[in-house]
Amino acid sequence: MSAERHPVGLRIRGGTKVYPGTRALKAVDFDLRMGAVNVLVGENGAGKSTMMKVIAGVEQLTEGQVLMDGAEVRFNGTDEARRHGIGIVFQELNLFPNMTVAENIFINREITRGRVDIDMSAQREETRKLMRRLEHDIDPDAMVGDLRVGQQQIVEIAKSLAQDARVLILDEPTSALSAAEVEILFRVIADLKRQGVGIVYISHRLEELIRIGDYITVLRDGAITGARSMQGVDVDWIVRAMIGEASKDFAKEVEHDYGAEIFRAEDVTLPRIGGGMAVDHVSMALRAGEILGVYGLMGAGRSEFLECVIGRHPHAGGSFFVDGRPLKARSVAGRIRRGIALIPEDRKNDGLVQMLSIRENMTLSSLGAFTTGFHMNLSKERGTVRDFVRRLTVKIASMENPVSSLSGGNQQKVVIGKALMTRPRVLLMDEPSRGIDIGAKAEVFRTMRKLAADGLGIIFVTSDIEELMALSDRIVVMSNGRVTGEFDRRQATETAVIAASAKGHAPANMPPANMPKEEIA
Amino acid sequence: MSHATTDAAPQPAGNANLLLVLLKARTFIALIVVFAFFAFAAPNFLSSANMVIMSKHVALNAFLAIGMTFVIISGGIDLSVGSIVGLCGMVAGWLMLHGIDPGFGWTMHFNTIEICLIVMAVGAFIGAINGFLITKLNVAPFIATLGTLYVCRGAAMLFSDGRTFPNLTGNPEYGSHTFRLIGAGSFLGLPISIWMLIAVAVVAAYISRRTPLGRYIYAVGGNERGAALSGVKVNQIKMFVYMFSGLCAALVGLIISSQLVAAHPATGQTFELNAIAAAVLGGTSMSGGRGRIGGTIVGAFVIGVLSDGLVMMGVSSFWQTVIKGLVIIAAVVVDQAQQKLQARVALQAEAALGK
């Protein structure tokens, strides 16, 4: 794997990117080698996606330069990057659900007759060829919105392939794919490598990285902490480079006993749009003071389960109990009153009202506490907000500023503050550490620990296995809408958890729904 | 404003803040400028008689604009208010002239208060229909209220086969002779309709700033999903804003029919557009979540003063329309600039803290 065989096609030198409130990249130097898989790894918020967005022209560097073939380039948009042969498959799918597969693949590059009339049959034919190459049988005329998430990912990959990219960036391409689909993708990657395409591969699945990677770059907190060829790299080395010598310590500071059962969900079901079940007869129980970690791949039904609990889906089935008494309220407001609070995964669209101020966001769920009759006591409101801002160490200049001006970590703390103001008994946290920096993350985890010690029951959903192992008192694994494993903290191993999370994603001979849990544990 | 930009260049932060204050107060500044201009250019503009007439004109639009502001803040639009004005005027006229015949061989007649309450109930009811279409049947607000616009206008025509109800002087026997006072009476030197406007504006401003209901209206307009997940009863909030808007329109219907001592079914045509213009001029964002009652009232005054002043100057009505349109466009352009600047200032403050 010599440097001659894999010439550097693109370099970043001294790349710095500043976002309001955070420094996402700190003077990074990155070499992208052609004809090889350049693996990029780091925790959530380490700066991987930012670096790739810079390369793909979505974002521009605040300082530093991007060099291609020795000359400085500056991409002011994705199409400029595309003209230089850079294709990217985003982590969040950027597809148009209201258009067909073929239309999506050729969006903005339509095959036309005389620049006006779109040649649908040519596009369809090309799409079919791409799908054959990806060994998938997706109809070019199918609406993207009707496809499974995994199939949508394939369409997204096909879209980049269609552009004959010289550099192809894959940001967590396998997060929604089944094992068989991953194998196909790896074959396609090997094929592209032979054609001299430089591939950047971002993933959290470390074994996968070691298997497919030729070069590895590790990012931590916006800086590169390790870059080398993949030879001799093992999981230990990656983990050390990722989290540093001082491994992150979310371990319990104080042991406390759990109280009585505080929450129980029985037989929760939620039909999926387009058939099947998003949440398939899920039951779980939670004790006061307990942190229950729910692990699973994307689309496993974890978030949907939490949404059923908070009452977002009126057509969901099943029953809930708080403190042993049945939870009859159907509305979100009624459930909040009974002591359930949700911290949603999608902060921007579900958690906050971006144009309102920090104060107005924080008190949105608990205005009743400041209201007598219909009159709101604004000074009492400000006092309470000030108190929560201090307790949660939210860094703000003024509580009257719009919440959109805050960094991700501080926004998350505002959402947590909003949930805590309702004085919940059960706190549901959906990916509480997504998109926030490492310092804020540690603070969020400390807060969770403290809340649990105070007797709150916490159910938190995560895709970060380390976080899961470190924080949870008990672990529930979901896959394809079902509970496929339940572990005590002391018995759980990463392998067993991951194995349980892959259940139902096996290509053939799907395991029966009622597979005994002992088999996993 | 360009003066401020060049003047304070060495101190970027202070400059931005000063500019921001100026931009925030822009509608008010515009009002002062327009007012000062006509005070010089139009004869008799400052006479108290003219002030009273002008404020009466402004009041009609301001009522609608207040209701419209709530609707727009919640992320919707209400095109039906003009028609509700017409229909409510006809209802008032019918009640004055004919009363209600329940079919028992005698007719119920009403006094002024009863007529007002019935008409207000009719306005709120039509608003409730809008709300029902939008929340329960998922019709887009634009389409739902466009539908009620036609239905109400047609219903107003049906009341009298398109004719005017004349001579709404009322009958002392029924206690409805005081109806004229709504439009013509005055109290402490101010017309009754202005007192009504003050009352409605104070209540609306109070709702928007100091009650959970007001906060929820902003939250629903800013992010409906997020508001719903925070426990806000989105449908109830939407129901309220459309009913309130209908109620405001009913008040205008009453005032106009009282002022004219007649009810004509075509009354109120294109009033909805003036109301939207006043709200937008006052800084209400058409995408929801942002706006002030105070701003809307100032906006209504700018439009009112502008059109009355131009009339007094003898400017042709065609030019008046053009000028009104240009003012509205300019207002929105400046509004965008303010939003950008405001976001930048807030970002700078938070970023400075992060270091």
Q: Kind and range of the H or E element at A265?
A: strand A261-271
Query: Residue A269's Cα: distance from chain center in Å?
Result: 23
Residue B340 has pLDDT above 50, yes or no: yes
> Would residue B294 count as lying in a domain?
yes
At the fourth CATH level, which superfamily is domain A261-349+425-519? P-loop containing nucleotide triphosphate hydrolases (3.40.50.300)
> Would residue B47 count as lying in a domain?
no
Contact A355 B346 (CB under 8 A): no
pLDDT of residue B101: 81
The region of weakest confidence among B194-203, B283-292, B338-347 is B338-347
Q: How far is B23 from chain A (nearest CA, A)?
A: 17
- Exposure class string for A300-323: b at 16+ Cβ within 10 A, else e: bbbbbbbbbbbbbbeebebebebe
Tell me the residue range of the domain where B77 lies.
54-337
Long-range contacts of A498-503 (CB under 8 A, 24+ apart): A498/A465, A501/A295, A501/A296, A501/A297, A501/A300, A501/A477, A502/A179, A502/A297, A503/A479
> Looking at the partner chain, which of B218, B226, B289 has a beta carbon nearest the beta carbon of A351?
B226
Q: Is B353 on the interface with A (CB under 8 A)?
A: yes
> Would residue B12 count as lying in a domain?
no
Contact A396 B353 (CB under 8 A): yes
- CA–CA separation, B232 and B223 (whole Å): 11
Q: Is A357 on the interface with B (CB under 8 A)?
A: no
Q: Which amino acid is at A246?
A: A
The region of weakest confidence among A130-139, A168-177, A214-223, B174-183 is A168-177
Shortest CA distance from A349: residue in chain B: B226
Residue A514 has pLDDT above 50, yes or no: no
Strands A371-372 and A482-488, bridge-based pairing: unpaired
CA dist list (Å): A186 to A1, A161, A506, B313: 19, 14, 17, 78
Q: How far is A344 from chain B (nearest CA, A)?
A: 8
- CA–CA separation, B268 and A53 (whole Å): 54
Q: Which of A106, A108, A109, A107 is nearest to A125 (CA)?
A: A106
Q: Kind and range of the H or E element at B251?
A: helix B234-260
- CA–CA separation, B279 and B66 (whole Å): 8
Spell out the residues 6+ positions from residue B297 whose beta carbon is closer than 8 angstroms to its own. Answer: B62, B65, B66, B201, B282
- CA–CA separation, A466 and A492 (whole Å): 12
Shortest CA distance from B226: residue in chain A: A350
The residue with greater pLDDT, A473 or A272, is A473
Q: How many Cβ contacts (< 8 angstroms) between chains A and B?
A: 107
Q: What is the DSSP letter of A407?
A: -
Q: Which amino acid is at B206?
A: Y
What residues form DSSP beta bridges with B30? none
Substitution target from A356, A363, A372 for chain B, most B beta carbons within 10 A? A356
> Looking at the partner chain, which of A310, A342, A355 has a beta carbon nearest the beta carbon of B289?
A355
Shortest CA distance from B230: residue in chain A: A365
**Edge-to-edge strands of the sheet including A482-488?**
A340-343, A426-430, A457-462, A291-295, A474-479, A482-488
Q: Is B177 on the interface with A (CB under 8 A)?
A: no
Q: What residue ranges in A71-143 does DSSP mark as E strands?
A: 71-73, 86-89, 112-113, 117-118
Q: What is the DSSP letter of A350?
A: I
Please, how many CA atoms are within 13 Å of residue A51, restricted to the half-sphere of its CB? 37
Q: Which amino acid is at B36?
A: A
Q: What is the DSSP string of A36-66?
A: SEEEEEE-TTSSHHHHHHHHTTSS--SEEEE
pLDDT of residue A244: 65
Contact B227 A353 (CB under 8 A): yes
**Contact (CB, 8 A) for B346 and A402:** yes
Q: How far is B34 from chain A (nearest CA, A)?
A: 31
Residue A505 has pLDDT above 70, yes or no: no
Mean pLDDT of A165-171: 87
Q: Is A506 on the interface with B (CB under 8 A)?
A: no
Q: Which of B323, B355, B301, B259 is nearest to B65 (CA)?
A: B301
Query: Residue B73's Cα: distance from chain center in Å?
Result: 13
Helix axes B81-97, B141-160, angle to 10 degrees: 30
Substitution target from A18, A304, A310, A367 for chain B, most B beta carbons within 10 A? A367
Q: Is B225 on the interface with A (CB under 8 A)?
A: yes
Which chain A residues are closer than 8 Å to B17 by Cβ? none
Which chain B residues are closer than 8 Å to A401 by Cβ? 346, 349-350
Q: Which amino acid is at A18?
A: V
Which chain B residues are closer than 8 Å to A365 by Cβ? 230-231
A224-264 pLDDT per residue, tens: 888 888 888 887 787 777 766 544 455 555 667 788 899 99
Q: Mean pLDDT for chain B?
A: 88
Question: Which sequence spans correspond to the domains of chain A?
Answer: 8-243, 261-349+425-519
Substitution target from B138, B216, B218, B230 for chain A, most A beta carbons within 10 A? B230
Q: Is B102 on the interface with A (CB under 8 A)?
A: no
Contact A310 B229 (CB under 8 A): yes
Shortest CA distance from B349: residue in chain A: A397
pLDDT of residue A20: 63
Mean pLDDT of A193-202: 89
> Looking at the partner chain, which of B210, B231, B289 has a beta carbon nearest the beta carbon of A376?
B210
Spell out the residues 6+ positions from residue A157 whose beta carbon is closer than 8 angstroms to its own. Answer: A89, A134, A170, A173, A185, A188
B104-141 pLDDT per residue, tens: 878 888 888 999 999 999 999 999 999 999 999 999 99
> Would residue B289 count as lying in a domain?
yes
Q: Which of A394, A431, A362, A402 is nearest to A45 (CA)?
A: A431
Angle at Cα A367 formed by Cα A362 and Cα A369, nearest 5°? 110
Helices and strands (H and E) in chain B: how many: 15, 2
> Looking at the partner chain, which of A349, A397, A405 has a beta carbon nearest the beta carbon of B226?
A349
> Could you say which residues from 309 to 348 on chain B have a Cβ atom under 8 Å away from some Cβ of chain A?
343, 346-347
Judge if A8-243 and A261-349+425-519 fold alike in CATH terms. Answer: yes
Q: Is A406 on the interface with B (CB under 8 A)?
A: yes
Q: What is the DSSP letter of A204?
A: S
CATH of the domain at B229: 1.10.3470
> Looking at the partner chain, which of B222, B227, B349 has a beta carbon nearest the beta carbon of A401?
B349
Task: Give the pLDDT band of residue A21 (cuts 50, 70, 90).
Answer: low
Residue B3 has pLDDT above 70, yes or no: no
Q: Is A351 on the interface with B (CB under 8 A)?
A: yes
pLDDT of residue A203: 80
Contact B354 A22 (CB under 8 A): yes
Mean pLDDT of A42-66: 82
> Looking at the partner chain, which of B219, B290, B346 has a beta carbon nearest the beta carbon of A405?
B346
**Which of A68-77, A135-144, B215-224 has the highest average model confidence (pLDDT)?**
B215-224
Kindly give the residue spans of alpha helices, DSSP state H, lying in A294-407: 302-310, 332-337, 358-362, 378-391
**Contact (CB, 8 A) for A381 and A432:** no
Which chain A residues are closer than 8 Å to B236 by Cβ? none
Q: What is the DSSP letter of A510?
A: P
> Would residue B263 count as lying in a domain?
yes
ipTM exceeds 0.85? no
> Looking at the partner chain, which of B215, B223, B231 has a beta carbon nearest the beta carbon of A336?
B231
Mean pLDDT of A366-372: 89
**Locus of tokens 């706190």:** A427
Substitution target from B338, B350, B355 for chain A, most A beta carbons within 10 A? B350
Which chain A residues are closer than 8 Å to B284 by Cβ? none
Q: Is B222 on the interface with A (CB under 8 A)?
A: yes
Domain count along chain B: 1
B28-59 pLDDT per residue, tens: 888 888 889 988 888 888 888 888 888 888 99
Task: Give the pLDDT band of residue B174 (cuts 50, 70, 90).
Answer: confident
Q: Is A514 on the interface with B (CB under 8 A)?
A: no
Domain A8-243 fold: Rossmann fold (3.40.50)
Spell out the residues 6+ positions from residue A283 whose beta carbon is closer than 8 angstroms to its own. Answer: A264, A265, A266, A267, A268, A318, A483
pLDDT of residue B1: 37
Spell out the residues 6+ positions from residue B3 whose beta carbon is closer than 8 angstroms to its own. Answer: none
pLDDT of residue B45: 85
Contact B227 A354 (CB under 8 A): no
SS3 call for B140: coil
Q: Kind and range of the H or E element at A186?
A: helix A179-194
Q: What percent of chain B has pLDDT over 70?
A: 94
A304-356 pLDDT per residue, tens: 999 999 998 888 888 999 988 998 888 999 999 999 999 998 888 889 998 89
B270 is written with which tokens?
Answer: 């294109």
B140 is written with which tokens?
Answer: 């887009």
CA dist list (Å): B128 to A311, A436, B342: 26, 44, 36
**Which of A23-27, A318-322, B186-190 has the highest average model confidence (pLDDT)?**
A318-322
